[in-house]
Structure formats: C-alpha cells, structure tokens
Amino acid sequence: MYDVIIIGGGPAGSSAAIYTARGQLKTLVIDKAPYTGALALTHKIANYPGVEGEWTGKELLERFRSQAQSFGAEYIQTTITAVDVEDDVKTVFTADGIYEAKSVIFATGSKGRNRMLPGEERLLGKGVSICATCDGAFFEGRTVAVIGDSEEALEEAAALAKFAERITFIVPREGLQGVDHVPELPNTEWLFRTKPLEIVGERHVEGVKVRTREGEEQLLDVDGVFVFLSGSKPGTELIKDQVPLDDDGFMILDPLMQSPVPGVFGAGEVRRTPVKQAVVAAADGAIAAMAVDKYINKRAQVLPQYK
C-alpha cells in the first residue's frame, strides 16, 4: 500500500514525486515510456530556473528522476491497463501487477496528433519544435515556418517574431480557429489554404514542402519548423468514466490540483493550463504533492516544505 501513486514521470510527475517522497510519503511513479514525452524529445533547454547552460530534455528528466529517487521515490516502467479511483483505496492495474494507494496523481501529459507530418518525428528537436517560448531564442536571425490553425499557433508565432528574421505562417484552413481578426506580425508571410506535406531534411530541417491553394507543390527554404496543428488531447482516457472532465477531456481541478473525487489529483497538461512549459508542469506537480500530503495526513491546510 502506497501513500500515493503518480502516473507519469515527466516534469509534473517527477516534481510531485520529489515533494511527496521528501515529505515521507511512500511514493510510486509509474511511467510507460519515460523518454517519449514532449520534454524528453526537446533538443535544447536553456531557460529552466537554476539549470545553467543548454540541456536536453532527457538530461533534465534524468535529474528530476534521480532527485526523486534520492528521497525514496520508487519508479517502475510498465503499461497501465485500468484504474479504479472511486473508492478510498485507489487501484492501478498494470501488465506487471496490481498496485494500491491512498491517493493518485495523474500527470500523464497530452497525446499528440494521430498523424504527424512526414519528417516531423525524425526532426523533432533538430529544427522541429512544438514550443516557441521554449525554443524561439535558438532561431534568432533565422527563417522559420509556423504550421498551425488556431489561436495557440498565433500566440506562438507572436513569441517567435521577437527572434526570427522571417516567419512563414502556413495555415491549412481559410482562417485561424477562434480568431476573428488576424493581427499584423513583423516579418511574417501568411499562406492560407496551404497544406503542409513534408518537413524536409536528414540531420536538421532544410525546408517544408507544401501544396498551395492553387494546387501547386513548393519547397519553402526554412531553418526551423514550429508545429501547432489541432489534435493534441490530454492523456485522461483511463479516468474518463470516473473523474469529471471538461468537454475537451481536461481534468477539472481546484487550485490545489485536486479533482472532485477525494484523493484524486492532476498536474501538468491533464489540466487546462494557460501555457505549456516544463517549469509550469513542475510547479503543478509540487502543488499537487503538497495537497496530497494535506489529504493523507488530514491537515487543515497545506504545509509548505521550507527545508
């Protein structure tokens, strides 16, 4: 019997594990694929507080995990087949056995689109990015493409405009979803009703192949590609019939990251977060962990860890 089972070992899950284990709670982290999340695939990180220089996402995750283990957190890698979180004892069924806990934190991140562009996966972290605020500075003075069809893509392009010399904004639709008026962005060319076909390059991005609204294929010469196409969903399938979710599948959480189901918490991209950043997910995990401590020990309020 664990005090808490944390599902997901990314920045949210591992940050939570650091806090729960350090708070003397018996902690188990279950992660199906530790190095396939968005952070793990990030090629360079230079803005994580307290971590100077450039690190890969995998290196940063390894530091998270090592720190959590140093406080006593256990990690296992296995596939979860089902969960039962409606009773006081939470049960997690896996391919390697059944685990029980007094509480559970879901930090399962988000699922990518079902179909990626040819070349996108191969070049992720090698010129392809899904986070302009994370990687925009690496493209200062260079030419980039933004592929997107939403307000999120517009916001990310605005962040990129501070660094890139030129942006080609590729929009498969006639306009951006949820955007009534497209603002002017410096050094930005808009290509509406243009279908992205392939991201070209072997070791790094060399261009983007598109089909224009006239039906012609073109190769756009760019140094980087930022992809913000619709389709990313929170990884909450396991609990969709047990825990309240909103219309898009995000967990409904209070400010302490607790769901309406007692003992069930969420952190990171399973909630409707305003921005997708590793440091934000890690903060969510810390809050959820201290809320778990409050829940397990029946405290009247959250007890911060000062030492």
The predicted-structure confidence for 245-269, as pLDDT tens digits, reads as follows: 998 899 999 999 999 999 999 999 9
Percent of the residues in the chain that have a pLDDT greater than 70, as a whole number: 93
Q: Give me the mean pLDDT over the 166-171 stretch.
A: 95
d(CA 235, CA 251): 10
Instruction: Kindly report the pTM of this predicted structure.
Output: 0.70
The CATH code of the domain at 2-112+232-296 is 3.50.50.60
d(CA 158, CA 161): 5
Nearby residues of 159 by Cβ (< 8 Å), 6 or more positions away: 132, 133, 136
Q: Which pLDDT does position 223 carry in this prediction?
A: 96
Q: Which pLDDT does position 135 carry in this prediction?
A: 84
pLDDT tier at 154, thresholds 50, 70, 90: confident
Q: Give me the mean pLDDT over the 206-231 stretch.
A: 91
So where are the chain's domains? Answer: 2-112+232-296, 128-228
Res 303 pLDDT > 90: no
Query: Do the two domains 2-112+232-296 and 128-228 of this chain adopt the same fold?
Result: yes
CATH of 128-228, one of 3.40.640.10, 3.50.50.60, 3.40.190.10, 3.30.300.170: 3.50.50.60
